[in-house]
Structure 1
Amino acid sequence: MKDVISIKDVTYRYIQDEEENTALNEVSLNIKEGEFLAIIGHNGSGKSTLSKLMNGILMPTSGDIKIFDLNTKDPENIWKIRQSAGMVFQNPDNQLVATIVEEDVAFGPENLGVSPKEIRQRVDWALDIVGMLDYKKQKPHQLSGGQKQRIAIAGILAMKPRCIILDEPTAMLDPSGRREVINTIKHLNKDEKMTIVHITHYMDEIVDADRVIVMEKGKIAMEGKPREIFSQVEKLTSLRLDVPQITELAFELSKEGIDIDSNILTVDEMVNQLWQSN
């Protein structure tokens, strides 16, 4: 599979209170087409800065970022990059621009100059994918937080991107809203074959990711499959990160001498392990 996003030796520095700070320090990373990549890290680790660099919102101080072979440093590429790599942020209220759901989803393709007939098809298609087609005549302010975020995702989908970058999209949602959005993300990746970059601090959201990147002090501290990453409970704790609750339980049971794998990720795996041990 080819690279969708190529990040090579990227450093990003910014000025705050007349002092220069380094948010990212010579980060290199390749993201494959169709991959579900998760990026985790505590506040200030550089993960959100990295997401904004991927979408051309920020420009690297040094190094290069290419989205589908388009360098973000070239101003002529930015519009194409943002069409190819859609961005979903924390607060859905900041992304909704219209007073009716279907009008909001149509906003992006209208700005791309898509024909009205094609827009109609895209709006219905996008709303159907996120499970919100029945709400197309609703007013966004009448929806729940999870529903609003799904509308925001539909608005990105209507522009037909090949990759979606989600910067802590569930941070402001209740557990029900989080489940709605995570199920949507999984559907986009598995069924629609879309490349997903999911930045979060909720570990249980990314147990199904293909790969996990752990950020710390502007660098990649760990990289691997979820099971490889979350089995290293003590190392994650030293990086001020949690692990999925079920993995933590397995780790504690293993420490107490109970014969159980310490790299369990799901409740079903825990049940099977306990069943087999009896």
Structure 2
Amino acid sequence: MKYAVEISNLYWRFPTVTGIRRDYTLKDINLKIREGETFGITGPTGSGKTTLCYIIAGIVPRKIDIPEDKISLYLRGSVSVMGQKLLWVSERKKKAVLSGSPDVKVGLVRQDPESHFTGVPTITEIMGNLRSTGLGHKEIGERVKHALELVKIDPSSQKSLDIPPSKLSAGEKQRIAIAGCLAMKPDILILDEPTSDLDPASKRQVIDAISYLKKTEKITIIIVEQDQDVLRELADRVA
């Protein structure tokens, strides 16, 4: 059996300005997520769910200014994504080591979809990241079309795609943010509270889009969600 994510004895705490060590945000996390499954993560607010997603996505601790010889004060354990070790603690050197393969792609859709947008028309938002990859215009167009279809948005709908995402409904914004990640063809898609603060109609749109994605694409999906009904409908397993 192949695992998309393997986490062993993970501990993490954030550094402070004063240098005083906080308690660990994540304590002794052990987790295995199979390739191709939809895995739900739940828990109370402040329990470290989003932090765990940021670690899987490689954002933490890479984006935090911690001297390499001090990382082991905040981090213990190991994390592997698609068979590539992202971080682990070297027992021989007694310090944390950051590694990882650029071939492993993790798409992260944050809880607030607005954080993904810059204010340009929706279609430009989706195409923006693809243009930086050096792909040809034809392939970019095909990827965008496929990504929009996966989240049940009509690629020919000028009404939705020619205006800034800020003018779309909450459900449409969330689906556009998901489409932007899918266009990059990630190995793993992480959705952080994808249905929070949505009205019932918008929530149903997002749930249906994720359900369709599960059925049509061979992709590992990690859903952080407090709504147990959503997890029962979408997740294969929940932790």
Which TM-score band (shorter chain)? Answer: 0.7 to 0.9
Q: Deviation of residue 139 (structure 1)?
A: 2.6
The letter for the 1-side match of 2:236 is D
- Is residue 122 of structure 1 aligned with residue 132 of structure 2? no
Whose helix proportion is higher, 1 or 2? 1
1:156 aligns with 2:215: no
Identity of aligned residues (%): 36
User: Partners in 1 of 2:124 and 2:85 — Cα distance?
Assistant: 32
Of structures 1 and 2, the one scoring higher in RCO (CA 8 A, sep 6+) is 2
Structure 1 match to 2:200: 175
Q: Give aligned pairs, total.
A: 211
Q: Judging changes above 3 Å, is the alpha-carbon distance between structure 1 residues 177 and 78 closer, same or farther for their aligned structure 2 residues?
A: farther
Structure 2: any 5+ residue segments left out of the alignment?
62-73, 88-96
The one-letter amino acid of 2:54's match is: K
SS of residue in 2 equivalent to 1:6: strand
- 1:79 CA drift (Å): 4.5
Q: Does 1:146 align with 2:167?
A: no
Q: CA deviation at 1:119?
A: 0.4
Change (3 A) 1:78 1:88: farther
- Listed one character per residue, the Cα deviations across residues 195-247 of structure 1 (whole Å, up to 9, x for unaligned) are 1100011111011311010xxxxxxxxxxxxxxxxxxxxxxxxxxxxxxxxxx
2:225 is aligned to 200
* TM-score of the pair, normalised by structure 2: 0.82
- For 2:100 and 2:200, locate their aligned partners in 1 and report how far apart those are by CA, in whole Å: 38
Instruction: Decide which structure has the larger Cα Rg and report it.
Output: 1
Deviation at 1:78, TM superposition (A): 6.4
Q: List structure 1 runs of 4+ shifted beyond 6 angstroms.
A: none
1:111 aligns with: 132
SS, match of residue 206 in structure 1: helix
Kept in 1, the 8 Å contact 2:36–2:221? The answer is: yes
RMSD of aligned residue pairs (Cα, Å) = 1.8
Unmatched runs of 5 consecutive residues or more in structure 1 = 214-278
Hey, what does 1:77 align to over in structure 2? 100
Separation of aligned partners in 1, 2:9 and 2:226: 25
Correspondence for 1:33: 35
| 2:107 partner letter | G
Once the two structures are TM-superposed, the CA of residue 76 in structure 1 deviates from its matched residue by: 6.1
Secondary structure of the equivalent of 2:181? helix
Counterpart for residue 12 of structure 1 = 12
TM value normalised by structure 1: 0.71
Question: C-alpha separation between the residues in 1 aligned to 2:31 and 2:150?
Answer: 29
Q: Residue 64 in 1 paired to residue 89 in 2?
A: no
